[in-house]
Amino acid sequence: MSSDQRAQLEWKGRNIKTVYFIEPFKTIFFDTLPKYLIERRKTSCSHKFLFVNLDHENKGKPYFLASNESLNKSFKRVQKKLGIEKPYTLHSLRHYYGTFCRNYLPLEGGKVGLNTATVQSLMGHSSEESTKGYAIIDKVILKSMMAAANNLLMKNKSDVKKLTEDAINYQLTLAEEKILGIK
C-alpha cells in the first residue's frame, strides 16, 4: 500500500482527526481497550492499524481491508451472543450518534440537542448536507413540539394573521440583535 493510499484511509473523508465519545460508550470503549490490546498483541501485527481481525484465519489483518458485509456479520453475531433481539449494523451506530447528539444530548441550562453544524463537526463531515442525512430531527420530538404549539393555539384562541405578525416581528428582533450585536 502506498503512503497516499494509507493517508486516504486514515480519516476516510472525515474533516477532523479527533473522535468525540458520548457516555456510556466512552467508558465502555476505554474500559475495554486494554483487554483488546492484549489480544491484539498476540497477532504480531507489523502495521500500526489499531483495529484488526482476531479470528484465526485472518488474524492481524486490518479491519479496513474487510468488507462491510463481513464486518456487519461479525457485529451481528456478537449482538446475538449478547441477547440483542434487533441486531444493528455498524453504520446504524453513526445514525444513532448523529440523531442522539442532534436531539437528545443534555446541555447546560436544561436544553437538549446540538445544532447541525456542531454535529457535523463531531461526525467529521466536510459538508452540512452529509450530516443532515444522519442527524434528522426525531419524529417524537416533532410530534411533541406540534402538540405544544397546538395547545398554545387553542389556549390563546389566536387568529392566523396575528400569529403571522408576531412571528415576523420575532424574526425581525432576532435579525436586529444579530446584526447589531444586541442581546
**Residue given cell 462491510 in the structure block:** 68
Cα maximum dimension of the chain: 73
Q: What is the pLDDT of residue 34?
A: 96
Q: What is the pLDDT of residue 165?
A: 85
Q: What is the pLDDT of residue 3?
A: 64
Judge contact between 33 and 51, C-beta under 8 A. Answer: no
Q: What is the pLDDT of residue 13?
A: 57
Residue 38: strand, helix, or coil = helix
Contacts of 21 (CB under 8 A, 6+ apart): 29
The alpha helices in 14-159, defined as continuous H runs, are 25-41, 68-81, 90-103, 116-123, 128-134, 139-156
Q: What is the pLDDT of residue 32?
A: 95
Q: What is the pLDDT of residue 112?
A: 87
Quote the cell numbers at residue 59.
488474524
> Which ranges of the chain have pLDDT less than 70?
1-15, 158, 183
- For 142-182, write each residue's pLDDT tens digit: 898 899 888 888 887 767 778 788 889 888 988 888 888 77
